[in-house]
Structure 1
């Protein structure tokens, strides 16, 4: 064995409790082969060969590559191309942003906007004003939550939604005003009527959006990302979506390591032998685990309820601002349960979106039942989000080794709205972190990007601070240290995705994915963690962003 890369004069945080720090890293063919004195035999003696690349880190802090276990890369890539409404605060701001873009658009082209947060808007959008400013074009405004659209009258008409709708879709709502007229706001499954007009999206454009996202990830030190729902449902873009990932990888545009969750809508009944269990999957029995360390199929993604922002997450108790309203499940619980168990019967690991505590009850019960019948899956089973999680639920998840995947940055951008919907008492149960660690559970790092900011250092800071956009504490009982949050975004994420023995740690035999930081995250004030520069990002021993001093 020889070294092909040597990094020295570094302050390495390995993530390995047996050897937490180092100053030198040796790499060969994309793998770490030694630290510090372990490298001496490879650098000395008559058979030693000098490394082809030698980098002086000049005392910089190096950590394992960041790993976001719940994001939406194609959607995020599209936000980099759509009309950006992230900073709008009034309806007039929205109308102006649309008017500025349409001058370069075709007469029948859809006007698509992203990153809209209605909670920061003073006033409400008017569907008729949207008709006027778009000059007859259909308008689609994607909410940051991912659980709602706002459209104009032209788009409603194209989608076949009546001016005064008399029926509602299961698990969704066509919002109407006090006269019964559709306002243009479509919640949850009501979004599908518009999606059916735009999907499947062009194969090449999906790959283009994915490439844009991947290029951006490297600037933030992200070397691995799990995309939580592709190829079906209202979160997918085309039934051929995984092939678009393969196309991007073949063309060298997929710079990070990608794991994809196929939505359960994309699975179908699979015939088999009479002794085989009832199974729901993909043709040929393709299931979780297919792929390699560059591109892999992960768990099946299942939506069970809605969102906190839209007060559609399923709660055991009513919302603080509307006690009789408990949110709702996305479909009939028994029908969903059967589908999940049949997916497990086809060998899929499970990832159930569950935000309200009633939905989490359902998720725990369903995963437990699936395991009782079919045994454990090929990688950890997960519950995504956890907007309200009771102590008894954490005890059950810990006992079952179910991974909960919270997004602390939601608090930084949506905290005040979530406080309004939940009340202060339930905020102490919201998006847990400390209680997970205290229970001995895996704590991974994730963002749900582009719903919220996805830069790992910003999310790490949010883990430690738990402050709303107004600077108010939100469930401060769930704060963790920066060191624990850093561990979550590296070691914890690797374990949550089934890669705990291959990445997330800087140790012998692990993938040489690492990030060189412009300051030590454990030495700067917590308020400065998000602002630490990314000096360089390395994937498989190759610098893919930034640079180091080479010799």
Structure 2
């Protein structure tokens, strides 16, 4: 056997407890052939001396919105705006630059940073009466212009608002422009379905960013028909086309949004009668593209005060929104579980977490399955008594470490000091013996893994305020989240997540060791090269040329 290449003189963090460190690594046919003495004497096509640089397993993001992020790269990015006037000016500039364009779209605005939600009539003035729609940074709210409201029919005082959502009106009953949760469906449907070509373009743009950040695997947190996530009822085709064409360069797992489940004609002995066509379920596909969990929604988000809490939000007389009733969620979870699906239940508020745990308990009780690995996505506000249930049910919490830094200041005001200790947990999950994968929820927050790892360790908000410091983890635990634990949560730990013989050669080369630098330096470490399946996907300095 002649190696494709041999890396030597490197600081290799294998994340394999049986062999934690190495200096050399051989790659053959897209897999790791071995480490150190196992490979150093083998013939090789090229030898790469990394001069002491650090190598880790490729980073894995188990919860991101790849299509939405790629689309965001092509529209107005409002995430950096600090005033509503900046947003209106951007709309006006787009209208002037594109006089024949029907739509002006954007995303990422944060009402706590710009002084409130953008207003419908001001969007009208800035756009000269065109269709304008901006998605909130949480993706659980949007604002739109009058032209959009009129197209939907929502300017009428008797317009029916979907259950599990709301449409804000002023004191005179006139829409302000703000729409949330399930009520967004007819608004977002005006721009759907996105074409396969448009989606492949967006996915390709996202992929370019991901490999530059050291990401080798990502999970898309909701495809298909859905008012909150998803871009097309046939969205999987765009991912397949993207991989076939080479536009998508990262391994991709797809969560299927719950709205795509429908009755199936199955035999009585099959034990299930709901799912997606052809009976496909979690695990279908290969190492490059596969179907992951079914994405089940319960509540909204903290920043929009639509997360479902057991007690009211601070300064408000409501405790959030449940998007669906318990019975509907339970029945869907049972059907999915019996049909072979892994569940990924979106639950942010502590009441929603109660519901998520209850529906998972009902699902697992309905049919004994070995190691289903059901997950609760976000698990943002988790009481002490709920931790025990996570352990009892074997549920994987899937939080987002970067939330503390980017959203922490606003969330602290929303939840209040009494609920702060059980908001955005991490160490408590680990101490309970749970697996905690790494995820971003991008584009809700920035998705680069290394800054997220820093946030996991230091637990500081963007203003420098400590946020439940007791939930901070070590740099090693943060790295493990984005490698070993992410692979486990994705049911793919048998071929990736650590660097050992026969595993895929998904590697990241870094200019510093994240386990050795000061905490405040982790997010500033440079990704020098990203290798996926032995192929160099990012290497601006040519260090992998040998």
TM-score by length of 2: 0.97
Structure 2 residue runs without a partner (length 5+): none
Greater shift in the superposed pair: 124-133 or 348-357: 124-133
Out of 219, 242, 253, the position equivalent to 1:259 is 253
In angstroms, what is the RMSD of aligned CA positions?
Answer: 1.4
Out of 543, 546, 550, the position equivalent to 2:545 is 550
Maintained 8 Å contact 2:117/2:178:
no
2:299 is matched with which residue? Answer: 305
- Does 2:314 align with 1:320? yes
1:175 is matched with which residue? Answer: 168
1:393 is matched with which residue? Answer: 386
1:69-102 Cα deviation digits (max 9, x unpaired): 0000000001111111121111211111112222
2:29 is matched with which residue? Answer: 29
- Does 2:446 align with 1:453? yes
Out of 338, 351, 356, the position equivalent to 2:344 is 351
Compute the displacement of 1:167 (Å).
Answer: 4.2
Structure 1 segment 38-53 matched on structure 2, within 5 A: 38-40=38-40, 43=42, 50-53=43-46
- Paired residue secondary structure (1:436): helix
Out of 207, 212, 215, the position equivalent to 1:214 is 207
Greater shift in the superposed pair: 88-97 or 214-223: 88-97
Maintained 8 Å contact 1:117/1:144:
yes
Q: Distance in 1 between matches of 2:285 and 2:39?
A: 32
- Does 2:3 align with 1:3? yes
Compute the displacement of 1:345 (Å).
Answer: 2.3
- Does 2:232 align with 1:238? yes
Compute the displacement of 1:275 (Å).
Answer: 3.1
Compute the displacement of 1:378 (Å).
Answer: 7.5
1:185 is matched with which residue? Answer: 178
1:404 is matched with which residue? Answer: 397
Q: Distance in 2 between matches of 1:436 and 1:357?
A: 15
- Paired residue secondary structure (2:186): helix
Q: Distance in 1 between matches of 2:394 and 2:191?
A: 39
Maintained 8 Å contact 2:529/2:544:
no
Change over 3 Å in CA distance of 1:36–1:433 after alignment to 2: same
Structure 1 segment 14-413 matched on structure 2, within 5 A: 14-40=14-40, 43=42, 50-107=43-100, 109-165=102-158, 167-234=160-227, 235-322=229-316, 324-376=317-369, 380-413=373-406
Compute the displacement of 1:166 (Å).
Answer: 5.8
2:533 is matched with which residue? Answer: 540
Q: Distance in 1 between matches of 2:497 and 2:326?
A: 36
Structure 1 residue runs without a partner (length 5+): 44-49
TM-score by length of 1: 0.96
Q: Distance in 2 between matches of 1:402 and 1:58?
A: 42
Question: What count of residue pairs does the alignment treat as equivalent?
Answer: 543
Q: Distance in 2 between matches of 1:433 and 1:35?
A: 32
Q: Distance in 1 between matches of 2:17 and 2:164?
A: 46
